[in-house]
Amino acid sequence: MPPPEVRRSIKRSAVSDQQRRRELALLRQTQQRSDSQNRARRLASSVFTLSSSSSSDLILPDKDILTRAADSEEHEAHLDESVAPARELNVVQASKLKGREARQWFARQLMLPEWMIDIPPKLDRDWYVFARPAGNRCFVVSSNGTTISRLRNGSVLHHFPSSLPNGSRTRDSSGPASSYCVLDCIFHEPDQTYYVIDMVCWRDYSLYDCTAEFRFFWLNSKLAESGACNSPSTYHRYRFSVVPIYDCNQAGLHAAYSTSMPYTKDGVLFFNKHAHYQTGNTPLALVWKDNYCSQYFLDTDSQGLVPTQQQVVLEMQEDGKLTTSDDPPVVFGSLEVDFIQKSEFRAGNLLRFAIKDESVRVVDGKLELGDLQFISKSNRARAFADSYSKVFFQYAARHSPLKIEDIAASILPNLPDDSPIVDVEMGS
């Protein structure tokens, strides 16, 4: 496929507040530098603490402060889901979580990209771009002679030996026996490969407060040195691979979008070079899709079909309000008390709704939903509601999608720093 033609877009009014949130996110990370080392150890410890009973002989990375969960994961369906939100729990509390709370805790440890609603300024200077592999997003943690991968809903994907630091009991290690490694990966089923899209911790060195530019540099150098990219063997069950990452100029965008990859693509990811590893939804990482680069451009229902009406999953609050997974959450509607009582819903339930097109409005760059039609409760394995940016992106994708030509047109070569920002209108 030829590279997208460069064209100059007409300056239009901004259609969302995503750029403002990007600026706030960059400002916040400079003002609130958290204890990233403790955060990395907390995550690594919890991965092992929440393991199934079959791994009860594991030596935990920080065993003096950990409490093992007494119940096995098979009892998740019987647990009370009304406990307080698990976002800020310490390791002892997190180790006791089960069911939906465990899923929420793990889901919020990942840096989750927002969907691209508008095009960031200086895309070619401040952003990377790469093709997202299709597959299961997960954390991979190696420590004390073993490696565990956990999906974003908290369940164990694989428990295996690897060539990552301290990832196998037969592997010689130059570091202390208690050191650990945390990688953000996508497991690609067809070739049984973990594609690493970010590095969170390497040999006890936390990278939470490092820029994406530095994290990607370390990822490319350290992973190859460890032998994790080698072919599978007895003591290295799965191969790891780094995805090709490009500067988001015309050539990089074309490579990420059009070039054949060793994996099936599921959209394109954009990472701000200055962004730290921020857990939860962040506008400093963006995902974009179309029919060419993703099989899942439009959301599908439980039968794998694209429904006639757009569907959304929202979380019901104590007062009946229906909100997104954002922080702070966006309110898209509310339920009547009688309907809540009749349906026996509880706060925290994830509910699926259909949207009537004629009830949707974009006012001052913000999406407003009118008539929500209840369909069903969401799948219990789901961790949390749709994000605001996903709802907006899916709406625009059905009516006035942001196209690859629009993104390419915003990347104009050799422009001065005071050049105007290109905004592309996505819906009305």
Starting from the edge strand earliest in sequence, which strands make up the sheet with 127-133, in order? 111-115, 280-288, 265-272, 127-133, 246-247
Percent of the chain with pLDDT over 90: 55
187 close to 194: Cβ distance less than 8 angstroms? yes
Per residue in 63-101, pLDDT tens?
A: 332 222 223 233 333 323 333 333 344 333 544 566 667
Q: For residue range 158-203, what is the model confidence (pLDDT) as tens digits?
A: 999 999 998 998 745 555 666 789 999 999 999 999 999 999 999 9
> How high is the mean pLDDT of the chain?
80
Q: How far apart are CA 184 and CA 242, in angstroms?
A: 11
Q: Which residue has the tokens 């079909």?
A: 305
Instruction: Report whether 127 contacts 19 (CB < 8 A).
Output: no
Quick: pLDDT tens for 374-393: 999 998 878 889 999 999 99
Cα distances from 124 to residues 21, 129, 249, 394, 408, in angstroms, run 19, 9, 4, 25, 10
> Which DSSP string do the residues of 365-404 spell out, in sequence order?
TEEE---EEEEEEPPTT--SPPPHHHHHHHHHHHHSPPPH
pLDDT tens readout for residues 31-58: 665 555 566 666 666 666 655 433 333 3
Q: What is the pLDDT of residues 268-322, one digit of tens each?
A: 999 999 999 988 899 999 999 999 999 989 998 777 889 999 999 999 999 999 9
